[in-house]
Chains A and B, each alone.
Chain A
Amino acid sequence: MGGLKTALKIGAALLVMSSAAAVARDLTLVTQRHADWTEVYISAGAPDLFDTFSVPYQTLTGETDQVDFGELRAGTGWLGDVLLEQATITIGPRDAALEGMSLMVHPADSKLPMTTPLEGMIAIGVCNGPPDGTYLSISELHAYVGYFSDIGSDGLPISLSFKQPLTSATRVTVYDHGADGAVTRYSLELQPGDPLLLPADPVSDTQLSTLMPVAGVLGMVGALTVLMGVKTRPGRT
């Protein structure tokens, strides 16, 4: 019995390790759905965010790898547009133009929270960045970008296809804020070549973790029933 327990623990640990090794980068994505408009916020380590869209980070830093925060004061919506030029977006059946609101970077060791649209809005606000005259290396920064579309997404799937396939496996943690105020948190694991698909009715990780054992038990019951049926059928006839 003790041996079985140990084997199970080792198996679980191996599963966690293999899953961690498979994902090379993490993104956080927040949506605000509405009948008439949509907001999307994405955050990741700054080099990872640019790499996800296959855009060189020098678009932000220039020739060096340093970010001049004073330069960001003039507005950075255009940087968001540059990223999305490398993707195709649809909301429901329609091609959707998402417009960059702002892109901002903050020191990675003091990341801002981003689980709600309001936190997204705060994170992309250039006035909340370090003071002018501050230069930091891109590798020390976490990036936040926000988009707006005047196409409603209430009850519709949102799809983002990368023109250049992702270069590595990516975990996306999604906070989907519905038009009715409901929030669904779930995770997606994207492999190179996968699009980013946000379903119309997402299932939260919590629901999933509740449903998985239930589905497992139901599956086992079903399998046993089938087996017993196979065994008992000859007796009935």
Chain B
Amino acid sequence: MTTKITRRTVLATAASATLLPALPALAAEPTVVEMLNKHPDDKKKRYVFYPRVLSVQPGETVLFKSVDKGHNSASIDGMIPDGVEEWNGKISKDTEVTFDKPGIYGYKCTPHATVGMVGLVVVEGEGKLDNLEAAQDVKQRGKSKKEWEEIWAEAEEAGLLEPSTA
């Protein structure tokens, strides 16, 4: 059996080879953040995103999964990079968000933000800390103040608030 190599085959192969490095990111399963009434490891913690701090690469998608009903994921005003579109998921529905621009992304559960149901996504890449100060300056309400203090400390400890080396 012989295979005739045409110009079209060569071009298609070349195009595939060019796209291949991007494929894993495109085809990868989204990273899941669960929306829960109760923290799986600490029963005293209620109304949580799990995990609440996440680091992703540009182009990655995060699935905010409605495991327990009554929650949503919505970006917090002033806590996402300039020029990025806000998101506001429906309550009790899964929400997918694709993060293209490096930066700091703070989000909340709309009905439970004041009881501390908030989370952070850090998108790696050049300029990821450009909006850090602005995000940290956003006035928080209720129990989310304490939660954000813990989140910033957790992100710091994990090295997520260091400039990207890539």
List chain B residues, Cβ under 8 A from A188.
none
List chain A residues, Cβ under 8 A from B113.
75
Stretch from A85-93, A97-105, A176-184, A227-235 contacting the other chain: A97-105
Stretch from A11-19, A124-132, A216-224 contacting the other chain: A124-132
List chain B residues, Cβ under 8 A from A9.
none
Known contacts A77-B141, A150-B145; is-contact A125 B115 (Cβ 8 Å): yes
Does A37 belong to the interface (CB within 8 Å)?
yes
In the assembled complex, the Cα of A124 lies from the Cα of B69 at a distance in Å of 15
Bitwise, B109-134 to A at CB < 8 A (1) or not (0) is 01111110000000000000000000
Whether the Cβ atoms of A102 and B37 lie closer than 8 Å is no
Q: Which of B47, B68, B70, B142 contacts A77 (CB 8 A)?
A: B142
Does B71 belong to the interface (CB within 8 Å)?
yes
In the assembled complex, the Cα of A75 lies from the Cα of B111 at a distance in Å of 4
Does B46 belong to the interface (CB within 8 Å)?
yes
In the assembled complex, the Cα of A100 lies from the Cα of B44 at a distance in Å of 20
List chain A residues, Cβ under 8 A from B91.
73
A183, chain B: closest CB distance, angstroms: 15
Whether the Cβ atoms of A73 and B143 lie closer than 8 Å is no
Which residues of chain B from 3 to 60 have any CB-CB distance to chain A below 8 Å in the complex? Answer: 37, 44, 46-47
Q: Which of A125, A126, A150 contacts B146 (CB 8 A)?
A: A150
List chain A residues, Cβ under 8 A from B37.
125, 127-128
Does A146 belong to the interface (CB within 8 Å)?
yes
Whether the Cβ atoms of B46 and A118 lie closer than 8 Å is yes
Whether the Cβ atoms of A100 and B71 lie closer than 8 Å is no
Closest chain A residue, CB of each to CB of B108 = A75
List chain A residues, Cβ under 8 A from B145.
148, 150
List chain B residues, Cβ under 8 A from A147.
142
B15, chain A: closest CB distance, angstroms: 48
Does A156 belong to the interface (CB within 8 Å)?
no
List chain A residues, Cβ under 8 A from B146.
37, 148, 150
A78, chain B: closest CB distance, angstroms: 9
Does A39 belong to the interface (CB within 8 Å)?
yes
Closest chain B residue, CB of each to CB of A118 = B44
Whether the Cβ atoms of A122 and B46 lie closer than 8 Å is yes
Known contacts A77-B142, A150-B146; is-contact A127 B115 (Cβ 8 Å): no
List chain A residues, Cβ under 8 A from B71.
127
In the assembled complex, the Cα of A71 lies from the Cα of B110 at a distance in Å of 13
Q: Which of A72, A75, A128, A150 contacts B114 (CB 8 A)?
A: A75
Does A74 belong to the interface (CB within 8 Å)?
yes
In the assembled complex, the Cα of A74 lies from the Cα of B68 at a distance in Å of 16
Bitwise, A16-54 to B at CB < 8 A (1) or not (0) is 000000000000000000000101000000000000000
List chain A residues, Cβ under 8 A from B110.
74-75
In the assembled complex, the Cα of A150 lies from the Cα of B149 at a distance in Å of 11
Whether the Cβ atoms of B115 and A74 lie closer than 8 Å is no
List chain A residues, Cβ under 8 A from B115.
101-102, 121, 124-125, 146
Binding site for A on B (CB under 8 A): 37, 44, 46-47, 68-71, 91, 110-115, 141-143, 145-146
Given contacts A74-B111, A77-B141, A127-B111, 14 further A-B contacts (CB under 8 A): A73-B91, A75-B111, A100-B142, A101-B143, A102-B111, A124-B115, A125-B47, A125-B70, A125-B112, A126-B112, A127-B47, A146-B115, A147-B142, A148-B142
Q: List 5 A-B contacts (CB under 8 A).
A: A101-B115, A121-B46, A126-B111, A148-B114, A148-B146
